[in-house]
A = this chain, B = another copy of it.
Amino acid sequence: LRTKPEDHTLTETQAVPLFSRAAIGSFFQEQPVLRNPFTQDALLRAYLRRHLALQVESDLRTFGERIVSEIDALGRQCEQNPPRLQQYEAWGRRADRVITCPAWTRMKHIAAQEGLVAAGYERRFGEWSRVYQMCKLYLYAPSAGLFSCPLAMTDGAAKVIQSLGMPVKEAFARLTTRDEKRFWTSGQWMTERMGGSDVANGTETVAWRQEDGSFRLHGFKWFTSATDADFTLTLARIADEDGNTTPGTRGVSLFCAEVWGSDGFTNGIEIQRLKDKLGTRQMPTAELLLDGTRAQLLSEEGRGVASIANMLTLTRIHNTVSAAAAMRRITQLGREYSTKRSVFGKLLKDHPLHVQTLSRMEVETRAAFLLMMEVCRLLGREETGAATEREAHLLRLLTPVAKLYSGKQAVAVVSEGLECFGGQGYIEDTGLPAMLRDAQVLSIWEGTTNVLSLDVLRSISKSSGLVLQAFFSDVEQHHNELHRGKPHQSGAARINMLID
């Protein structure tokens, strides 16, 4: 009933039970642990304490706790159970269903409850409402399993509808509700095969006017994120009676449509395939054939491109938030791990070179955070009519700048962060590599770095240089305040003092 280990091992008598322990050894690496991202974030708390005082601290602390105890695990479940496409039913009919996991549905409910879109429209905190909303998203994004993306699109859609004078009240109400049963997410189906950022030339989709004033859309949308949305915005060219359309920007109009018909089938939408993406795999991105999709005209005819400018402002800010949040998360995890992992005889945190690496990541992260917050602050002021002309110029300038810088930064900082974990940073089930895969999208979607650089040029040119003038006078003001030791009331530079 006993066995001797094979004689190659030891010469002395030995006895171990049959089926004895598979000795994989007893040393295991410590792993980084997620802690309440709000309480861990001294800079965020200092910023808020100064501007919003205790108004939101309790909500954010509770939300941070929920992220640790509930949301982060849901996000991982979304990662492990990515959406899949059911193109046909068993008995032959088209299904065109994106099957998502229960955790993804739960994410939607939580997003509603927490007001992650609603907070921007309720304006409980006046001009600081956007700051408050974006702080929540900043805490939320790295644990959200990419549900932050449909929220960005939903926010952008709500903003456009609002800016167009609420042509679809019910949809707006659903996009901005806290009621999880009524809450809708919105897609933005802009990119066609020809296009991308160049929607003016890229839009081939044709809208055929129906007798009841609605339209039927026919076209092929090449990238449509959050394809499981309830509602969507999209661009098309209206055909005249002869079926002709106007080329270029002036031919493009903005439409909205519900994704599902009351008959349980899609609203004339065929999902051709789900994109197999580098990252953001939790979120379905698809190629869609619009084949008679019933839609409602949202913008004035031919004003489609102009009407989505507001949407782009919003989604670019969301992109900036996600970038800053990713940097913050990897920096937190890296710092946490450095207090546990020992190599060459001491903890990582006691290796000067490693501390330098973490410090550089921290500085990048802080800069991204402060830039992001300044843009959010300006947005909030503009939306509530509190913005000065200079601030309006600054918002116009800084929105693309913040997006393009933070997108690039995020890849570099996250890549550096993975290295802080050695080989483990390259292993998917730690959850770390997904951060790099997800970060890479931040410099691509909502306009690549070069597209946004051109947008910055356009803002300078259109304002005859006023946006730059606003920027320099802002910088100068802060510089003077710093040197005079005076209290400071606005701008990014002031905030730098907080972080020392």
A contact set with B: CB distance below 8 Å: 1-3, 5-6, 8-10, 12, 14-31, 81, 87-94, 102, 191, 193-198, 201, 204-206, 208, 210, 216, 218-220, 222-223, 239, 243-245, 270, 272-273, 275-279, 287, 289-292, 343-345, 351, 353-354, 357, 411-412, 415, 418-419, 422-431, 433, 436-437, 440-441, 443-445, 448-450, 453-454
Known A198-B343, A422-B196; contact A16-B5, beta-carbon cutoff 8 A: yes
- The complex places the Cα of A422 from the Cα of B102 at a distance, in Å, of 32
- The complex places the Cα of A91 from the Cα of B422 at a distance, in Å, of 12
- CB of A415 within 8 A of CB of B440, answer yes
Q: Which residue of B lies closest to A412 (CB)?
A: B412
- CB of A19 within 8 A of CB of B9, answer no
**CB of A387, distance to nearest CB on chain B (Å):** 30
**CB of A191, distance to nearest CB on chain B (Å):** 7
- The complex places the Cα of A291 from the Cα of B8 at a distance, in Å, of 11
Chain B positions within 8 Å of A87 at CB level: 272-273
**CB of A333, distance to nearest CB on chain B (Å):** 13
**New A-B contacts (18) at CB < 8 Å, excluding given A21-B22, A90-B430:** A8-B210, A9-B20, A10-B15, A10-B16, A19-B23, A19-B205, A20-B21, A24-B220, A27-B193, A28-B91, A29-B193, A87-B273, A197-B343, A277-B426, A278-B428, A278-B437, A353-B450, A422-B448
- CB of B27 within 8 A of CB of A194, answer yes
**CB of A242, distance to nearest CB on chain B (Å):** 9
**CB of A229, distance to nearest CB on chain B (Å):** 18
Chain B positions within 8 Å of A270 at CB level: 22
Can you show 15 pairs from A to B with CB atoms below 8 A apart? A5-B20, A9-B17, A10-B243, A14-B16, A19-B205, A20-B291, A21-B291, A27-B204, A89-B429, A90-B429, A278-B433, A353-B454, A419-B448, A419-B449, A419-B450
Known A19-B291, A272-B24; contact A344-B191, beta-carbon cutoff 8 A: no
Most interface-central of A3, A15, A216, A425 (chain B CB within 10 A)? A15
Most interface-central of A6, A208, A278, A287 (chain B CB within 10 A)? A278
- CB of A23 within 8 A of CB of B20, answer yes
Integer count of this chain's copies in the complex: 4
- CB of A19 within 8 A of CB of B290, answer yes
- The complex places the Cα of A191 from the Cα of B343 at a distance, in Å, of 13
**CB of A41, distance to nearest CB on chain B (Å):** 25
Most interface-central of A26, A244, A423, A430 (chain B CB within 10 A)? A423
Chain B positions within 8 Å of A195 at CB level: 343
- The complex places the Cα of A198 from the Cα of B216 at a distance, in Å, of 39
Q: Which residue of B lies closest to A351 (CB)?
A: B450
**CB of A329, distance to nearest CB on chain B (Å):** 17
Q: Which residue of B lies closest to A277 (CB)?
A: B426
Chain B positions within 8 Å of A220 at CB level: 19, 24-25
**CB of A64, distance to nearest CB on chain B (Å):** 23
- The complex places the Cα of A263 from the Cα of B449 at a distance, in Å, of 38
- CB of B18 within 8 A of CB of A23, answer yes
- The complex places the Cα of A205 from the Cα of B20 at a distance, in Å, of 11
- CB of A9 within 8 A of CB of B1, answer no
Enumerate the 3 nearest inter-chain pairs by beta-carbon distance, A residue then B residue, closest first.
A22-B22, A278-B433, A90-B429
- The complex places the Cα of A424 from the Cα of B419 at a distance, in Å, of 27
- The complex places the Cα of A291 from the Cα of B16 at a distance, in Å, of 12
Known A2-B243, A345-B201; contact A18-B426, beta-carbon cutoff 8 A: no
**CB of A423, distance to nearest CB on chain B (Å):** 5
- CB of B423 within 8 A of CB of A415, answer no
Chain B positions within 8 Å of A16 at CB level: 5, 9-10, 14, 16, 20, 23
- The complex places the Cα of A318 from the Cα of B276 at a distance, in Å, of 31
- CB of A30 within 8 A of CB of B91, answer yes
Q: Which residue of B lies closest to A433 (CB)?
A: B278
Known A90-B31, A206-B1; contact A22-B23, beta-carbon cutoff 8 A: yes
**CB of A6, distance to nearest CB on chain B (Å):** 6
- CB of B430 within 8 A of CB of A443, answer no
- CB of A17 within 8 A of CB of B218, answer yes
- CB of B436 within 8 A of CB of A440, answer yes
Chain B positions within 8 Å of A218 at CB level: 9, 17-20
Known A91-B29, A278-B436; contact A292-B6, beta-carbon cutoff 8 A: yes
